[in-house]
Amino acid sequence: MATPEWRTPEGWEMQFATNHLGHFALTLGLHDALASAERARVVVVSSVGHVNGDVIWDDINFHKRPYDAWRAYSQSKTANILFAVEAARRWARDGIAVNALNPGRIWATGLGRHMTAPPESFEPGAGSGVSVKDIPQGAATSTLLAASPLVEGVTGKYFEDCQEAVPHTPGLRRGVAAYALDPQAAARLWQISLDMIRTRS
């Protein structure tokens, strides 16, 4: 999260490569095993940070513009949701459910190691509707999507606080942005991601 301007050997921006491309490639590699299982589930961890911006379609790797650590993080988290949307569509016939989630803001992990101190928005009682949680609370929505019968058959959705997220309202740090659920954008990102990982191999 919010790393310095790091790049992979291929020149890919590190947050997009780590938060999206790596998981995309891994899940594609596991597809056949998932399809052979009964009612397999894929859980994609995104973030409320996705509401800060869509994928930068004409400059995903920040080759044309100055690097912005938070903008890069936001696009990687939007990419997580778009991946869930397209994987859910493609793999529905295989019985694979794919959902994304916001675990909440959890300072007590290594995720914020590139920040010198917890921002106010990580403190209990933070404004703008933000979900500030400890580690067990932060794991709850992932656990729900991975194992609960309550979400059996649910796919292609974005969850927070153990329920499907409402549409994002500007000014609030909650909900899901419309662009993150756009099926055309999801299909576009899928092809871009495929092209990137194929170029590497």
- The domains of the chain are located at 14-199
- CA 102/CA 84 separation, integer angstroms: 13
Sorted by sequence, the CB contacts under 8 Å of residue 2 that are 6+ apart come out as 15, 69, 70, 72, 73, 112, 114, 115
Annotated catalytic residue 73: yes
Q: For residue 122, what pLDDT is reported?
A: 45
- Identify the three-state secondary structure at position 93: helix
Q: 14-199, what's its fold?
A: Rossmann fold (3.40.50)
Q: For residue 78, what pLDDT is reported?
A: 98
- Identify the three-state secondary structure at position 167: strand
Predicted TM-score (pTM) of this structure = 0.90
Tell me the average confidence (pLDDT) per consecutive run of 10 residues in the chain, 201 residues long: 90 96 97 96 96 96 95 97 98 98 78 56 50 87 98 97 96 94 98 92 56
